């Protein structure tokens, strides 16, 4: 098998979706990837994949032929992007041309491989794509947790949060919100607890990640 090595399946399921109108090619690729430890789904056309739109909740990628009847590979790439799919796409072609390669890479393709693809090169590309997808998913999951924490803040705690991460000392926050510095310290403590951080630096980092520091403060003079 071209010296290919099986992947470590202990890291959880990894899904490869193969889109190609050549049945024998799909079968060969499926066999190769399953031998390497991947879960595999095959599709004879772009429309077939769209009818069974794969979930991107599991780390995976799409192996996509450029010249497939009906909706072409690059056209499917555009459609999936419009649908919000985050699955990385590796293009496969027997007839490489610079224009298509540049177009698909600019549109976010993970890689562009020429048929016939050696097993080692294929598996390296697939593993890179899935690793990137896993990293992207992990980051998105963390951001969702952070946004949920922010949503759990009371209106007053949100005001304190936004002022504190912009560097305002407790005394200035108290003046801005019309309350005592002691009250602000109590709000700040609850904010740190709800945001699950131990330091101001962590709080600022979180605010940067979710774009709070890029927004104008909506602080109001409420009691």
CA pair distance 163, 160, nearest whole angstrom: 5
Q: What is the mean pLDDT of residues 83-103?
A: 91
Q: Hey, what are 217's tokens? A: 């403060």
The model's pTM: 0.67
Q: Which helix (H) or strand (E) holds 194?
A: helix 181-194
User: What is the average pLDDT score of the chain?
Assistant: 88
| Alpha-carbon dihedral sign for residues 70, 76, 80, 83 | negative
Domains in the chain, please, with CATH?
11-143 (3.40.50.2300), 152-214 (1.10.10.10)
Closest CA to 122 of 21, 14, 16, 48: 16
Q: What's the whole-number mean pLDDT along residues 102-119?
A: 91
What six digits make up the tokens of 200? Answer: 């101001």
Helix, strand or coil, per DSSP, at residue 106: helix
Region 87-100 average pLDDT: 91
pLDDT number for residue 8: 45
Can you give the pLDDT at residue 4? 44
Lowest mean pLDDT among 9-18, 41-50, 63-72: 9-18
pLDDT given for residue 210 in this prediction = 84
169-218: pLDDT as tens digits:
999 999 999 999 999 999 999 999 999 999 999 999 988 888 887 654 44
Tell me which of 6-15, 96-105, 116-125, 188-197 is least confident.
6-15
């Amino acid at each position: 098998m071209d010296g290919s090595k099986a992947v470590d399946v202990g890291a959880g399921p990894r899904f490869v979706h193969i889109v190609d109108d050549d049945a024998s090619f799909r079968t060969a690729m499926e066999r190769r990837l399953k031998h390497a430890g991947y879960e595999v789904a095959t599709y004879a056309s772009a429309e077939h994949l769209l009818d069974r739109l794969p979930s991107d909740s599991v780390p995976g990628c799409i192996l996509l032929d450029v010249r497939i009847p009906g909706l072409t590979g690059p056209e499917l790439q555009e459609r999936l992007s419009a649908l919000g799919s985050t699955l990385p796409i590796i293009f496969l072609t027997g007839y490489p041309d610079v224009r298509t390669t540049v177009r698909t890479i600019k549109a976010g393709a993970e890689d562009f491989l020429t048929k016939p693809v050696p097993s080692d090169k294929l598996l390296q590309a697939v593993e890179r794509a899935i690793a990137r997808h896993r990293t992207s998913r992990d980051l998105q999951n963390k951001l969702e947790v952070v946004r949920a924490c922010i949503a759990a803040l009371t209106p007053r705690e949100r005001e304190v949060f936004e002022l504190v991460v912009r560097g305002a000392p407790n005394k200035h926050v108290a003046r801005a919100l019309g309350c005592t510095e002691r009250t602000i310290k109590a709000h700040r403590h609850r904010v740190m607890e709800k945001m699950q951080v131990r330091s101001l630096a962590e709080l600022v980092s979180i605010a940067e990640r979710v774009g709070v520091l890029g927004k104008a403060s909506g602080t109001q003079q409420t009691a």
